[in-house]
A = this chain, B = another copy of it.
């Protein structure tokens, strides 16, 4: 008998029918002899609807009250889910974040978990009940106020519960059936991975893959939680996300499969590029530029500085950032043009980013050569390059991104023989 934590996102519990389907799934797990703890998000668009209401009554809603408001969403879904399970003849009890012992700091809207004390959950499990916990929400001990965890909060709730209860596995259910070598909507021949290391998963997620939230994967890695990403709509196994020393439950004892060199290809069309040209090539200019950008609130991703032309003593610095942040960053930089002493600002929101991620890059050479070759053969121009220990990213024209990704995916031998079935949407 194992202790299994399951997380269901908003699209998995969008209406009464979906809730009953999820309830049946939970009951099946219980019938198989396991203890089950479930973290659940708010139904479908509930959170957005509540946010709309908040904005209607207050231009800038008070953060404490916004958390009180939003946390009602999971109360609804968890109570309905517990009822549905109950009516199938199984004991189920729902708990709010505070009842579940999800202790956070007091930062409303983006609270961090500081402790998990699942006393009531253990009691309920000992009494044979299925435990349903509100995702996304916590409780601050000092203020005694309700908090919410921000984006990806329910995934983090599930992983934190799995860590605190020492669960055997944390199953994250969504409308995709695992982690793919690429986004199947971009590359129909993307292949589902049996497993992926958590560091690869983090790089993929940071570069455009949307199945799991970085924060939850980080938490899992730090606390040794085994994540199993799988689909609400099918019973096939999904993808295991393995921390250090963890092994996929599917591997037969002793038979260590060879690690693939490249785990996947991520694509990202959400970024823009800003080029600051004619920057005096003297120490401290990059620091000046990125201090201004950081103060504007923008989240810079890739940075590339070209070698300066000896004749001018000036250089160009390019960086990428979320499209939504570009206008503010440009305005901030323009205001400091005289002080920094650059010549021009260029803005380009038609870029695409392609990243190849694989832990095998550490021990294999020639990985980047394959990438550049594939792009070159496709006649695709590379505008920026950036690398980490296990990732190579290139910036291309946005229009070229899908074609480039297909070429690269094939070049690394990742293509499957069949095309993937694609569902749309993600939970919170």
Contacts and interface: CB of A to CB of B under 8 A. Distances in A.
Interface of A: 16, 19-20, 23, 50, 53-54, 56-62, 64-66, 68-69, 71-73, 75-76, 78-84, 86-87, 92-94, 99, 120, 144
Contacts of A61: 83, 86-87
A87 B63 CA distance: 12
Nearest to A56: B16
A66 to B, nearest CB: 7
A50 B65 CA distance: 22
Contact of A62 (B16, B23, B66, B83): B83
Contact of A53 (B65, B80, B86, B92): B80
A58 B80 CA distance: 8
Contacts of A83: 54, 57-58, 61-62, 65-66, 69
Nearest to A57: B84
Nearest to A84: B57
A20 B54 CA distance: 11
Contact of A72 (B16, B76, B82, B93): B76
A56 B94 CA distance: 18
A174 B104 CA distance: 39
Contacts of A58: 83-84, 86-87
Nearest to A20: B57
Contacts of A50: 76
A190 B72 CA distance: 42
18 contacts: A16-B56, A23-B57, A50-B76, A53-B80, A54-B79, A57-B80, A57-B83, A59-B87, A60-B87, A62-B83, A65-B83, A68-B75, A68-B82, A68-B94, A69-B76, A69-B79, A72-B72, A99-B144
A73 B144 CA distance: 21
B76 A93 contact: no
B99 A57 contact: no
Contacts of A78: 68
Closest CB pairs A-B (n = 6): A16-B56, A69-B79, A58-B87, A68-B79, A58-B83, A72-B75
Nearest to A23: B57
A188 to B, nearest CB: 36
Given A58-B86, A65-B92, A68-B82, 20 more contacts: A16-B53, A16-B56, A16-B57, A53-B76, A54-B79, A54-B83, A57-B80, A57-B81, A59-B87, A61-B83, A62-B87, A62-B92, A65-B80, A68-B94, A69-B76, A69-B79, A71-B75, A72-B72, A72-B75, A75-B75
Contacts of A59: 87
A283 B150 CA distance: 71
A54 B86 CA distance: 12
A54 B75 CA distance: 13
Contact of A82 (B65, B86, B87, B93): B65
Contacts of A68: 75, 78-79, 82, 94
A164 B24 CA distance: 45
A65 B76 CA distance: 9
A64 B93 contact: yes
A299 B234 CA distance: 51
A164 to B, nearest CB: 19
A68 B125 CA distance: 19
A86 to B, nearest CB: 4
Contact of A65 (B56, B69, B79, B99): B79
A56 B19 CA distance: 10
Interface centre among A50, A53, A59, A68 (most CB of B within 10 A): A68
Nearest to A87: B58
Contacts of A60: 87
Contact of A19 (B23, B57, B66, B92): B57
